[in-house]
Amino acid sequence: MAGVSDAQELTLILWAIEKVGVPEELRSADRVRALTDLLKTKFATERGNELYCITLACHWCHPNAPDSDLFGSLTTVGDVEALSYQWQEHRRDKNHNADRMLRRASDRFMRALEERGPNAPQHLVVFITSDEEFSEEIAELQSRNFKVEVLYHTTGDSTEPVITINAADRADDWLEFLKTHLQTPNLTLTYDPS
C-alpha cells in the first residue's frame, strides 16, 4: 500500500448498498458527499486512521436506470470504489454476488496488511450490511488482530442481523447513526436499487 507508513492504522469500509441504501433525503450530490465525509470522519479521521477505501457492492446500473445518478454521485467521491456485477437468474443470485464481492475485498485488505508482519497496528474494517452473511468473515478478521464494526439496517420484512451484530466489536443502527451525526431526524429507506 504505497504512501502509507507500516505503523499507520487503516480503515476499510465495506458497504452492501443494495441492502443498506442511501436514505431518500440524502440522495442529492451534496448530501451524498456529506454522508461519505461522515463515514470517513467517524471511522478514520477521528480515530487517527487513514481511510483505505469505501467499497460499495452493487449490481451494474444502466445509465438510464432511476438510481444511476446516485451511483454516479457516490463513485465520483475520491475515496469510493464500486464493485459491480450483472446477474441472470433470480434475486438470490444478486445477494450472494454482493456478499461474495465484499468478502473478497475484505480478504485482499487483510492479506495485504498481514504481509507487513506480526507487529502491524490494529486496522479497522466496517461492514454496512443487513444480513448474517459476514459473521465468519468478522471472526476471521478479529482472530488476525483487526477491529470490526457494523452499521446495520433491518427492513420491514427481515429481522436484525443478530449473529453479525454480536460478532462485531461494535454495532450501530444505520439510520440512527445517520440521524445523529448528520442531524437529520427524519430519514426513510424505502428504495431498492435493484
pLDDT digits (tens, 9 = 90+) for 98-155: 778 888 889 999 988 888 766 667 899 999 988 777 889 999 999 988 999 999 988 6
Please state, in angstroms and rounded to a whole number, the distance separating the CA atoms of residues 84 and 159.
26
pLDDT digits (tens, 9 = 90+) for 10-59: 999 998 887 788 888 988 888 888 998 999 999 999 999 999 988 887 76
Angular region, 72: left φ>0, alpha ψ -120 to 50, beta rest: alpha
Given a cut of 50, whether residue 193 has pLDDT beyond it is no
DSSP state of 192: -
Please state, in angstroms and rounded to a whole number, the distance separating the CA atoms of residues 74 and 172.
22
Closest CA to 76 of 40, 33, 16: 33
Kindly report which listed range (86-95, 106-115, 157-166) carries the lowest average pLDDT score: 86-95
Query: CB neighbours (10 Å) of residue 131?
Result: 20
Q: What is the reported pTM? A: 0.84
In contact, 164 and 41? CB cutoff 8 Å: no
Q: Residue 12 has which C-alpha cell?
A: 476499510
Q: How distant, in Å, are the alpha carbons of 50, 115, 152 from that of 6?
A: 12, 10, 31
Q: Residue 156 has which C-alpha cell?
A: 420491514
Q: Cα 119 vs. chain centroid, distance in angstroms?
A: 26
Please state, in angstroms and rounded to a whole number, the distance separating the CA atoms of residues 41 and 20.
20
User: Which pLDDT score, from 0 to 100, does residue 59 have?
Assistant: 64
Given a cut of 70, whether residue 179 has pLDDT beyond it is yes
Q: Which of 49-53, 68-72, 189-193 has the highest mean pLDDT?
A: 49-53
